[in-house]
Amino acid sequence: MSEQTVLAKTPLHAFHLSEGAKMSGFAGYDMPLSYEQGAIAEHHLCRTSAAIFDVSHMGQIELCDGTGSAKAILAQLETIIPANLIDLKAGRQRYGLFLNENGGILDDLMVANYGTHVRLVVNAACVEQDMAWISGHLTEMSITRLHRALIALQGPAAGAAFAALIPASAKMNFMDASSFNWNGVEIEATRSGYTGEDGFEISCPDAVAEDLVKALSAHDNVGFAGLIARDSLRLEAGLCLYGQDMDSSTSIVAASLGWAVPKIRRTGGARMGGFIGADRTLAECDAGAEFCRIGAVAPKGVPPRAGTEIFTSEKADTAIGRISSGMPGPSVGQPVTMLTLPHDIAVSDTPLFADVRGKRILLSRADMPFFPHRFHR
């Protein structure tokens, strides 16, 4: 790592330091890895109560065409995202992906319809490339990167903690998006997140971010959690991390994200194709891909990590795939991994061994999510 790299700071940077966070560079930002209680305790806090994550490093992009309606914007977005966005109602959010011409994944993102405009939340490391991609393909609208804090409140107590500040938020269901007034300040919230738990992602002006997290953390059993717990929570929830579990060389079907392409955009659908990367995406939705992403668990003990090679026997010389994410699973009770494998092997019962420092560890295929989703539907 270069000592000269100047890391950006989120509006909560000083607050993290005051809370005793261990900080590290991530996607160009100096971010909290964990706080004094440690990442495992933060993971359990999120599963049993609620945890607050600073995700202000993520890109928030607003699309507005001045018509007072999001309709035309959503229609244009369908040319670069293979989702059903034309039917995305005001006050709702949906998952989507940007693809290159070859059907490789450029980023994954959330699209929220706020009625008069659209907001996207994209990965921190991709935001500049995404801004250029959007600007190059959408016309007659303003495309603005918002400089606002983004705070994720996640866990079974998230609903009560947020409703204590914003009573109207109690009416929101999973993937709803809404604007609220909090102490005279406009904030936006979606009932979503990336932990598998119920919760919210809350966008607010930088100046009120610290007041907001302090108000949320005043609720019983709500605490702070860093990026390490965020990683273990999303992995247990079976959720991909861009740049790790998939990248521009990975297709939607090879990433096992085919569920994100609805029937209406597939072969034979009313709005079939019509998006960049459609040729490969539709062909693979029909016929399958050479590779796929699956879940597997390891025996208690050594956790196989990202980059670990996979073999079909204890003696085999040639790796057939690799682990893209691997960590202990505190809520699962054993290490959890995501693997990219040839499709034929993935769906067979061929043994899978992870090679950890020369020792072969037998993995067991497991359905994802490893830990059940508990969204508020």
305 to 41, 42, 214, 232, 325: CA distances (angstroms): 20, 20, 35, 12, 6
Query: Considering the complex, what minimum distance in angstroms separates the CB of residue 303 from other proteins?
Result: 6
Q: Could you say whether residue 232 binds other proteins (CB under 8 A)?
A: yes
Helix (H) / strand (E) containing 131: helix 127-137
Which residues sit opposite 339 in a β-bridge? Answer: 294, 323
281 or 324: CB nearest other proteins:
324
One-letter amino acid identity for 233? L
Nearest Cα to Cα of residue 251 among 34, 102, 74, 60: 102
Q: Could you say whether residue 141 binds other proteins (CB under 8 A)?
A: no
Nearest Cα to Cα of residue 241 among 305, 200, 194: 194
Q: Could you say whether residue 299 binds other proteins (CB under 8 A)?
A: no
Of residues 305 through 324, those in contact with other proteins by CB under 8 A are: 305
Choose, by CB under 8 A, the member of 7, 27, 33, 138 that binds other proteins. 33
Choose, by CB under 8 A, the member of 8, 143, 166, 302 that binds other proteins. 302
Query: Considering the complex, what minimum distance in angstroms separates the CB of residue 237 from other proteins?
Result: 17
Tokens 């996640």: give the residue: 154
Query: Considering the complex, what minimum distance in angstroms separates the CB of residue 278 from other proteins?
Result: 39
Helix (H) / strand (E) containing 338: strand 336-342
Q: Could you say whether residue 195 binds other proteins (CB under 8 A)?
A: no
Contact partners, residue 315, CB within 8 Å, separation at least 6: none
Choose, by CB under 8 A, the member of 40, 160, 272, 332 that binds other proteins. 40
Instruction: Find the part of the chain contacting other proteins (CB under 8 A) among 171-179, 187-195, 237-245, 296-304.
Output: 296-304
Query: Considering the complex, what minimum distance in angstroms separates the CB of residue 323 from other proteins?
Result: 13
One-letter amino acid identity for 326? G
Binding site for other proteins (CB under 8 A): 22, 33-34, 38-40, 228, 231-232, 301-303, 305, 327-328, 357
